[in-house]
């Protein structure tokens, strides 16, 4: 499987390491020509969603990626990646891809001290370690989406059509977990 990891900013190295550990053929997406390599899955890493979104536009990657996402390319999105996909960002008129029917609140657990670990159920598997890093919260989710994990009563991972998206970082504690 060929996995393209968006590598313009943020925790793309961790995302690459995760997919390599899953046996994928991993390459970095930094410019438009990288998309010509063909990909079976797009991985959107954590980082700073505002910076990533702006770079996607400046680098001319945004429209091509949106077309692929909306066209059914499997997407694995973490944290900032989820924010880029969300249809709505609370208290913010910005919408990036707008491809995932969820609303999110950025930095929902506090800005600096908002990073923590917990353990929970993921898609029916108990005891999955979950690392939150300045994570967003999912404040609303379409009934058509499947909620895969919950923390404090709010969804923390969802699957909808071709997209699986997390507010936490599965790539950091993956172990034997195969999220998709
Ligand atoms: N706080 C970041 C944002 O709002 C997301 C943090 C992360 O990706 N770990 O974009």
Q: Per-residue pLDDT for 175 more than 50?
A: yes
Indicate the average pLDDT of the chain.
Answer: 94
Q: In this predicted structure, what is the pLDDT of residue 100?
A: 98
For domain 2-172, give the CATH number.
3.40.50.880
Range scoring the smallest mean pLDDT among 77-86, 87-96, 169-178: 169-178
Q: Per-residue pLDDT for 88 more than 80?
A: yes
Q: Per-residue pLDDT for 176 more than 70?
A: no
Q: In this predicted structure, what is the pLDDT of residue 180?
A: 46
Ligand 1 atom index nearest CA of 135: 6
Q: Per-residue pLDDT for 106 more than 90?
A: yes
Residue 105 in contact with ligand 1 by CB distance below 6 A: no
Read off the pLDDT of residues 150-165 as tens digits, 9 standing for 90 and up: 999 999 999 999 999 9
Mean pLDDT over 108-122 rounds to 85
Share of the chain above pLDDT 90, in %: 91
What is the SS3 assignment for the chain?
A: CEEEEECCCCCHHHHHHHHHHCCCEEEEECCHHHHHHCCCEEEECCCCHHHHHHHHHHCCCHHHHHHHHHCCCCEEEECHHHHHHEEEECCECCCCCCCEEEEEECCCCCCCCCCEEEEEEECCEEEEEEEECCCCEEEEECCCCEEEEEECCEEEEEEECCEEEECCCHHHCCCCCCCC
Active-site residue flag, 171: yes
Q: Per-residue pLDDT for 12 more than 90?
A: yes
| Residue to probe by mutation, ligand 1, list 50, 80, 97, 165, most atoms within 8 Å of CB | 80
């Amino acid at each position: 499987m060929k996995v393209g990891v968006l590598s313009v900013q943020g925790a793309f190295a961790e995302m690459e390491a995760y997919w390599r550990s899953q046996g994928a053929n991993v390459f970095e997406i930094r410019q438009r020509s990288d998309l010509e390599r063909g990909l079976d899955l797009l991985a959107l890493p954590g980082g700073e969603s505002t910076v990533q979104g702006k770079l996607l536009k400046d680098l001319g990657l945004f429209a091509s990626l949106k077309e692929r996402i909306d066209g059914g390319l499997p997407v694995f999105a973490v944290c900032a990646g989820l924010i880029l996909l969300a249809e709505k960002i609370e208290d913010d008129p910005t919408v990036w891809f707008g491809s995932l029917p969820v609303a999110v609140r950025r930095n929902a657990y506090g800005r600096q001290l908002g990073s923590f670990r917990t353990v929970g159920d993921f898609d029916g598997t108990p005891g999955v370690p979950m690392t939150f890093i300045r994570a967003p919260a999912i404040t609303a989710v379409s009934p058509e989406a499947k909620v895969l994990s919950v923390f404090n009563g709010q969804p923390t991972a969802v699957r909808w059509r071709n997209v699986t998206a997390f507010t936490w970082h599965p790539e950091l504690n993956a172990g034997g977990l195969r999220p998709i």
